[in-house]
Amino acid sequence: MTIAALDIGSNSFHLLIASVTPAGLVAEHRYKQTVQLGAGLDADNNLTHLAIERGLKSLRSFVTILNQHQVSKVYCVATNTLRLANNADEFIQHAECILLSSIDVISGDDEARLIFKGIVQEQPRSGSGMVMDIGGGSTEFAFGNAEAIPETCSLQMGCVSYSSRFFSDGKIYPENTQAAIAASRLCLEPELGRLRKTHGGWMVGTSGTVQSIADVCHELYQTDKNLVLRDHLEDLLKRLILVGHVDKINFNSIEIGRSGILPAGLCICLSTMQQLKINTMHVGRSSLVEGLLLDKTHTVFSELNIPN
């Protein structure tokens, strides 16, 4: 049996296809499309027609992939943009007709919990720690240990929303980078007490934004691709200011289309590490789709009468 998880995110849509075997789930194929659905929210928090069409076009291409792999069950979740959009139902109705599957608009806390589940499966760790996922419209935190349900929080700061807010003209200079950092700091402030409870524990960052930052740091500073150092983020921000515009960012390690949101993501990541006094962050490759499939494992195995 082949199943899949689909994450309709604010920046990217992610699809993970896995096989169900007696030994467990085996991830087989991963697909990602940068849709920037969150950039289509207007001043009244309505998705524009163009953004809706952009999202639906992406889903149609995913349906072709699902059919090619003969996927029998798809678990679909949507996150921050469809939590915020007043006309989310319009998009969801069309999307469910395309996918022939229901879409669950999950809370930020559920999103954080599922991301944590995926990360601790990928990187088993002892003791307590924290997972951070910088999304397009929000940043999710989950903290605790692998043996218990984590505490969670979801904050309204994301690489797409901050790009629109602080870097809409593409220019990168001290004033707008510091404004983005200050906004992130203000967003973090109410949760700092809870987040700092993991001080001294491990921290893992995940998402395309964190991975892109880690790749750039590896290119510039020859660091481990699975580590991000706060000192390097501070230096990278200075380099971006010298570059001066997102169109002039030409690191070899940056994916096409991601340079435009790099300054915003970097400001959020740097501000978080500064506020939590964290010097080193590990990088995870798992995300919401991995956690979602793991969360559904018991249901799937029960339906197939496979012990797990």
pLDDT for 20 equals 85
241 versus 197: which is more confidently predicted? 241
300 versus 283: which is more confidently predicted? 283
d(CA 36, CA 160): 7
For the segment 21-29, the average pLDDT, to the nearest whole number, is 84
pLDDT for 306 equals 42
- Cβ atoms of 110 and 288 within 8 Å: the answer is no
pLDDT for 199 equals 58
For the segment 232-242, the average pLDDT, to the nearest whole number, is 97
Domains and CATH numbers, the chain: 2-107 (3.30.420.40), 124-283 (3.30.420.150)
pLDDT for 201 equals 82
Q: Is the pLDDT of residue 307 over 60?
A: no
pLDDT for 301 equals 42
For the segment 244-264, the average pLDDT, to the nearest whole number, is 92
The least confident of 33-37, 123-127, 196-200, 250-254 is: 196-200
Q: Is the pLDDT of residue 266 over 90?
A: yes
Q: Is 22 exposed, middle or buried (0-12, 13-18, 19+ CB in 10 A)?
A: exposed
Q: Is the pLDDT of residue 304 over 50?
A: no
Of the chain, the percentage scoring pLDDT greater than 70 comes to 95
121-167 pLDDT, tens digit each = 888 888 889 999 999 999 999 998 888 889 999 999 999 999 999 99
Least Cα distance to 86 among 135, 51, 36 occurs for 51
Strands, sheet with 202-206, edge to edge from the N-terminal-most edge strand: 151-155, 139-144, 129-134, 202-206, 280-283, 227-229
185-227 pLDDT, tens digit each = 999 999 998 888 765 689 999 989 999 999 999 999 998 989 9
pLDDT for 233 equals 98
- pLDDT confidence bin for 25, thresholds 50/70/90: confident
pLDDT for 270 equals 98
- pLDDT confidence bin for 305, thresholds 50/70/90: very low
Cβ-Cβ contacts under 8 Å for 147 (sequence gap 6 or more):
none
Query: What average pLDDT does the chain have?
Result: 92
The least confident of 18-22, 30-34, 109-113 is: 18-22
pLDDT for 200 equals 62
- Cβ atoms of 212 and 254 within 8 Å: the answer is yes
For the segment 79-92, the average pLDDT, to the nearest whole number, is 96
